[in-house]
């Protein structure tokens, strides 16, 4: 079940009040105090925290990152930060997948679990993994490295290249440095990831 159009509009109109994603000033308070606690994988369209809609939904061969930045700023109020909320954004450009570092890796995600939990209507769109993650309170979303795939993972088509790129560029380095377990649902959680994205393929490449 996904967020309806009316709910999306409501979220956008209330964004100034509900999503303070501008906490990016140079400050020790928005930095990881020790180390990230895990990795959270999302897409832009079904994003459980900061959905980017209605476009881009299909990740085409053209560069969509600029539109994602523009829509984030337009949709979520006073968003003047030089950074996106996610540490890495992955998109298809031409025939290759590219990983863009869109947030300093020592900077926390700009929302906390307690802020997201306030808005119960958003929970209607949560998948099984999302519900488990928050019910078990595994770690705060602000303390994670956030990796975001451009588009809608329910309708996009993915080749093995994206899984290899994600694993080797965004995940395996953190597993090695911080000694994270490599399996899913331990320190790595796909949140609201659609049916067309094979998360099990990430495990395959993470073991290399």
Summarised one tens digit per residue, pLDDT across range 15-54 is: 334 445 555 655 667 899 889 999 999 999 999 989 999 9
Evaluate whether residue 29 is within a structural domain: no
- Based on the structure, what is the number of domains in the chain? 1
Q: What pLDDT is recorded for position 127?
A: 87
Residue 111 belongs to a domain: yes
3-state secondary structure of 113: helix
Give the CATH number, domain containing residue 46: 3.40.80
Residue 79 confidence (pLDDT):
53
Residue 26 resides in a domain: no
* Of 129, 169, 131, 133, the residue nearest 149 (C-alpha): 169
In a domain, 28, yes or no: no
Residue 27: per-residue pLDDT: 63
Q: What domain range is 14 assigned to?
A: 5-20+36-206
What is the percent of the chain with per-residue pLDDT over 90, rounded to a whole number?
57
With respect to residue 100, please indicate whether it lies within any of the assigned structural domains: yes
pLDDT tens across 151-184, in order? 999 999 999 999 999 999 999 999 999 988 888 9
- Rounded CA-CA distance 54/27 in Å is 33
Q: 132 pLDDT exceeds 50?
A: yes
202: left (phi over 0), alpha (psi -120 to 50) or beta: alpha
Whether 61 has a pLDDT exceeding 70, the answer reads yes
């Amino acid at each position: 079940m996904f967020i309806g159009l009316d709910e999306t509009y409501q979220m956008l109109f209330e964004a100034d009040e509900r999503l303070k994603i501008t906490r990016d000033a140079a400050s020790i308070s928005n930095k990881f105090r020790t180390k990230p606690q895990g990795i959270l994988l999302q897409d832009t369209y079904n994003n459980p925290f900061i959905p980017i809609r209605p476009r881009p939904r299909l990740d085409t061969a053209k560069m969509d990152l600029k539109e994602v930045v523009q829509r984030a700023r337009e949709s979520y109020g006073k968003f003047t930060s030089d950074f996106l909320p996610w540490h890495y954004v992955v998109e298809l450009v031409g025939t290759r997948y590219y990983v863009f570092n869109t947030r300093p890796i020592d900077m926390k995600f700009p929302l906390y679990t307690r802020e997201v939990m306030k808005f119960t209507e958003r929970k209607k769109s949560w998948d099984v993994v999302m519900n488990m993650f928050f019910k078990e309170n595994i770690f705060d979303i602000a303390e994670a490295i956030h990796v975001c795939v451009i588009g809608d993972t329910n309708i996009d088509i993915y080749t093995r290249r994206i899984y290899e790129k994600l694993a080797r560029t965004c995940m395996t380095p953190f597993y090695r440095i911080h000694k994270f377990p490599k399996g899913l649902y331990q320190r790595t959680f796909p949140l609201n990831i659609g049916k067309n994205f094979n998360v099990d393929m990430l495990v395959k490449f993470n073991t290399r």
